[in-house]
Structure formats: C-alpha cells, structure tokens
Structure 1
Amino acid sequence: MPKMLKNLIKFVCFFGIGLLLIWLFTKDITADQWDQIYTAFRKANYWLVIPAIVLGIASHWFRAVRWKLLMKPLGHQPSTLNTFFAVMVGYLANLAVPRLGEVTRCGILAQYEKVPADKLVGTMIAERAVDLVCLLLLMGLTIVIQLDVLGAYVSQEIFQPLSRKLANANGGQLIIVAIGVLVVVLLLLWLLRRFARSKVAITIKSLARGVMEGILSIGKMKNKNGFLLQTVLIWVCYLSQVYIGFFCLKETSHLSISAALAVLIIGSVGMIVTPGGIGAYQPLVQKTLQLYNIPYAIGFAFGWIIWVAQTLLVIFLGFFSLVALPIYNKNRHQPKP
C-alpha cells in the first residue's frame, strides 16, 4: 500500500475518533447550556489571545533552540531558523497523524542541513523523554500543592481504573505477556545475527547506533544549563498561555496560577491521545475547570478558545514554514557576488 494512502487512512481514522469524541462530549448539552456557551463566546475578550499566541511562538522557538543544543555534541549545528521551521512542520503533521510530526521534522532537517536522520531521531527521542519527565514531575507537583482539589479526582479517574485492570489480570496472564515479550526480543536478536550482513540488518544496526548516539547526546552536552533553561522557558510559556487565557472570560479571570497548572497538565494528556487534542483536550479542560466551580458552559467555551488559538497558530506557522524553507535555503546557499 502506498505510503500516502496509509497516512490518509490514518488521518481519516484519527480525525473520525476526534469527531466522535466531540459528539459524545456535546450530545447531552441542553438548549439552555448552548445559550450560555454562545454568550460566553460572544463576551470573551479575544484581544488577550494575542499575547497568548506570542507566548506560543516563543515556546516553539525555545524548543528549536533546545533541539540544536542536542545536536551540537554530535558535531552538527543547523541554523536556528531551519530548526524552527522543521519543528513547526512537524507540529502541522501531528495534526493529521499522531507521531508523524517527529519523523517529518527529522526528515526536513536532514534534507536541508545534511544532518544524519538516524542521529536526529535519537535527539528527538531524547527531547520527548525530557518532556515526558517534565510532564510527570509537574503532574506530581500539581497534585501535591492542590491535594484537596485534585487528589480525589486523580484517584477516581486514573489510579482506581488502573488498579482494577491490574487486579483483573491474574498471574498467569502476566507471565504469558512477559514470555511473549522475551520471545520477540530473542527472535529479533537471532534474526539480526543470522542475517548480520544483509542490507536490512546493516540499516537497522546503523539506525539503532544513531538513535543511541542521539539519546546519549544529553550526557555529552557542555551547555547543560542552557538546555535546562530552554526546557524551563518552554513550560513557562505553556503555563503563561493558559493563565492569560483565563482573563479572556470574566468567569475564569479569578483563577490562580495553580489552576492554570492543573489545566495545562491535564489538557496536555488530551493533546497526546488524539491528533492535536481534537475531541479530547476540550472535555478534559472543561472537567478540570469544574473542580474549581467553573460552570459547564464556561469551561466548554474556555477549552475551545484555547484549543482553537493553539491549533490555528500551528496551522499558520506550519504552512508558513513549508513555504519559507525552500526560499530561505535557496538564498542562504546562493554564492556571494
């Protein structure tokens, strides 16, 4: 099956899931609630979306700079603009198919900066691992500092369902899964040794070596403080976007930075599970705001305002980057008169 057709099928499937989630989330909304939602949209102060968008652009720029820091120990220093353009095209691709963007941005930078794609994949994995650790740390911090508000919610919605699933899995099932994983690993190792000189095996080994080098680049960095600073700036921008967003609606303008942290963390889960968070980000944000006594209609409107602003920014910058990449690199490599 052609790659383009596969990606199209994936897009249709994931987009369909997003639409289904939106329908499930909105099907029980009453006529009175719809009136409240429309009123909230009408009275929102959309001028405050502008500084939130500026912070969004800054967060993407800091991500590009941080990615460059991971490449430096590998002997590569791409231009910041090319790195930024690659990041934005990657985000655009993620709107269509989850995780497609990671491969896309590595391919673009490899094309325009001649950086080995396998090493770029390694740095991308390292970067995502750092973001996951940050998300988990912030999640723990959010729960600890707001135990009275979030403790029961997290226990009921996350830990209890997880405990029930683990309890339903008996010892025999867990042993079978472990044996299955072990067999797959041993089989792969045997195949690599058996066909060690084949082109496929050589390609896999080369890719694995490049990925490992990319991951280990964190430890080889001389500018670890710079990497940490860029990471902090990324998350500060994310948090500031949500907090400024609170002032778009009168009913959420009193919420604290702690509430913004909760919205950021729980909303980030929604951005992960569906393309661009469609159908998942909005209900998660709305349910989070309910914990702070924000009415359903207001939480619904706020979730959509923030999501639409973020999504339109990614779409605009993504397509702009696609157009700008060949133009910037053509002028960049033109011989000087």
Structure 2
Amino acid sequence: MPKTLKSLLKFICFLGIGLLLIWLVTKDLTTKEQEDIKNAFRHANYWLVIPAMALGVASHWLRAVRWRLLMKPLGHQPHTLNTFFAVMVGYLANLAIPRLGEVTRCGILARYEKIPADKLVGTMIAERAVDLLCLMLLMVMTVLLQIDIVGTFFADRIWHPIQLKLAGAGTAQWILVIAILLAGLLLLVLLLRRFARTKAAIAIRTLAKGVLEGILSIGKMKQKGWFLFHTAAIWLLYFSQIYIGFYCLQETAGLGIKAGMSVLAFGSIGMIVTQGGIGAYQILVQQTLVLYGIHATIGYAFGWIIWLAQTLLVVLLGFISLIALPLYNKSTPTTSAAEH
C-alpha cells in the first residue's frame, strides 16, 4: 500500500472515530439541552482564553527547552528557536495524522541543525516516556486524593473496560500473540546474522544504536534537576490553562484545584484516543465535570471551549513555525554544537 494512501486512511479512520463520538453525544440532545450549550458559548468570557493560550505558548516553549537538554549529552545543542519551531510543526502534523508529529519534528531538527535523526528519535522516545509516567502519576494522585468522587469514575470508565478487554483474550490467544512476537524477534536476529555485512543490516544496526543512544541520553544528563524542573513546569502550565478556563463559564467558576486535576488527567486520555482529541476529549471532560455537579451540557460546552483554544493555538503556532523556519535559518548559521 502506498505510504500516502496509508496515511490518508489513518487520518480518515481517526477523524471518523472523533466525529462518531460527537454524533453519539449530540444525536439525543433535547431542544432545551441544545439551547443550553448554545447559551454557554454565548455567555462565555472569551477574554480569559487569551491568558490561557499564553500559558500554552509557555508550555510549548519549555517543552522545546527540555527536549534540548536531552540532546546535550549527545554533543548537540540546537538553537532553541529551531527546536521550538520543530515541536510546533510536529503538533500541527499530529492534527493531520496520529503520531506523524513525532517523526516530523525529528526530521525538521535533523535538517536544520544537522543532528542525526536516529538520535533525535531516541530523545523523543525518552521524552514521551517521561510524559507518560507523569500522566500516570497524575492519574494516581487524582484518584487517591478524590477516591470518593473520582475513584468510581476511574474504575467504571477506564479500569474495568481495560480488564474486560484483557480478560476477553483467552489463554490460547495470549500464547499465540507471545509466540508470534518471539518468532518475529528470532527471525529478525537470524536475518541480521545471515546478512550481517549487507548495507541494509549495517543501516539497521546503526539506526538501532542511534535510537538507543538517544533514549539513554536521559541517564547521561548533567542537568537532571533542570530537566525535572521543566517537566514539572510543563504540567503545571497545562493545569493552569484548565484552571483559568473554569472562569470562562459562570457555572464552572467555582470549581477548584481537584476538579482541575481531574479534567487534566482524564482529558489527556481523550487527546490520545482520537484525532487531535476531537470528540473523546469533550466527552471525557463532560463526564468528569458531571462528578462535580456541573450539568452535562455545560461540561460539554466547556470541553469544546478548552479544546478549541488549544487546537487554535497549535494551528496558529504550527503554521507560523512552518513559515519562520526557512526565514530564521537563512539569516542564522546553524551550528548545533554552540550554545544559544
């Protein structure tokens, strides 16, 4: 299957899932509920979206700075602006095709800063692993601090469905999956040994070595404290966007820190599940806010307001970065080994 066609099918599939979720939520809304959602949008304080988006810009900038810290042990220190541009173009690409952004941002930085792409992929994997760990810690903290409110929601909507899926796979299916994985790994090893001196095998080994080196860069950092600081700051900024967003609607203005933690934790899952979070994010935010006494229609409207603000920011900064990259690098020498 051609790569372009495969990418197009992925885009249609994930976008379709998101649109299906939106339809499932809205198809049975009564006239009054539809009017409630419209009223929420009409009376929202959109001026507060501006500081929330400013915090979003800061979080993206810190992500670029943090990614740059992972490259330092590898002997590379790209321009911070180039790193930021690459991150934003990557986010923009993710709106089109899931996970395309990770490859895109590595490719852009490799092009403009002359850093080996395989090492960049490794640092990206390490960075994503840290963020996944942060999300898991946030989820655990959210559930433990609000076991009476969030515990049941987490068990019914997330944990139990996962258990059912795992239980649905019988012993024979698990054995088959493990056997296929082991057979694939064994076949790969045998092929690499059999064709060890071919250009393809050498290229694969070189790529694997570069990726591994990038992943291990997190352990070689001399500035681990700064890395942890930036990581904490990024997630604090994410939370701050949600918290400020509460004041956009009169009905959510009274919500506190714990509600913000819940929206951030469960909403983040929605951003992973579908194309850019469309559909899933709004539903999870809606269901989360219902736990705090917010009417479902208001929760749904709030989910849309936050999602639109975040998505608009990514689109705006993504296209600006696409335009700025060649202009900035035309006038700025790219010396990845120099401090900037």
TM class by shorter-chain length?
over 0.9
2:250 is aligned with 1:257: no
For structure 1, which runs of at least 5 residues remain unmatched after alignment? none
The CA distance in 2 between the partners of 1:258 and 1:112, in whole Å, is: 42
Amino acid at match of 1:111: R
SS at match of 2:196: coil
1:2 offset after TM fit, Å?
Answer: 4.4
Q: Which of 50-59 and 274-283 deviates more?
A: 274-283
Q: Which residue of 1 aligns with 2:195?
A: 195
Q: How does 1:42-53 map to 2 (within 5 A)?
A: 42-53=42-53
Q: Which of 211-220 and 325-334 deviates more?
A: 325-334
The CA distance in 2 between the partners of 1:165 and 1:332, in whole Å, is: 53
The CA distance in 1 between the partners of 2:133 and 2:240, in whole Å, is: 20
Q: Which residue of 1 aligns with 2:273?
A: 273
Q: Which residue of 1 aligns with 2:338?
A: none
The CA distance in 2 between the partners of 1:100 and 1:174, in whole Å, is: 30
The CA distance in 2 between the partners of 1:164 and 1:300, in whole Å, is: 27
TM-score (norm 1): 0.96
1:172 offset after TM fit, Å?
Answer: 2.8
Q: Which residue of 2 aligns with 1:142?
A: 142
State the Cα deviation string for residues 106-130 of structure 1 (Å, max 9, x = none). Answer: 0000000000000000000000000
Task: Give 4+ residue runs of structure 1 displaced > 4 Å after superposition.
Answer: none
Q: Which residue of 1 aligns with 2:284?
A: 284
For structure 2, which runs of at least 5 residues remain unmatched after alignment? 335-340
Q: Which residue of 2 aligns with 1:212?
A: 212
State the Cα deviation string for residues 144-163 of structure 1 (Å, max 9, x = none). Answer: 00000011111112222233
1:196 offset after TM fit, Å?
Answer: 1.3
Q: Which residue of 1 aligns with 2:20?
A: 20
The CA distance in 2 between the partners of 1:152 and 1:100, in whole Å, is: 35
TM-score (norm 2): 0.96
State the Cα deviation string for residues 1-41 of structure 1 (Å, max 9, x = none). Answer: 54334323322222222212211121111111011111111
Query: Cα–Cα, structure 1 residues 170 and 13, in superposed 2: closer, same or farther, change >3 Å?
Result: closer
1:139 offset after TM fit, Å?
Answer: 0.4
The CA distance in 1 between the partners of 2:72 and 2:263, in whole Å, is: 35
Q: Which residue of 1 aligns with 2:99?
A: 99
Q: How does 1:50-129 map to 2 (within 5 A)?
A: 50-129=50-129
Q: Give aligned pairs, total.
A: 334
Amino acid at match of 1:160: H
The CA distance in 2 between the partners of 1:164 and 1:14, in whole Å, is: 23
The CA distance in 2 between the partners of 1:14 and 1:139, in whole Å, is: 25
Q: Which residue of 2 aligns with 1:333?
A: 333
The CA distance in 1 between the partners of 2:176 and 2:317, in whole Å, is: 47
Q: Which residue of 2 aligns with 1:41?
A: 41
SS at match of 2:77: coil
SS at match of 1:252: coil
2:312 is aligned with 1:295: no
1:262 offset after TM fit, Å?
Answer: 0.3
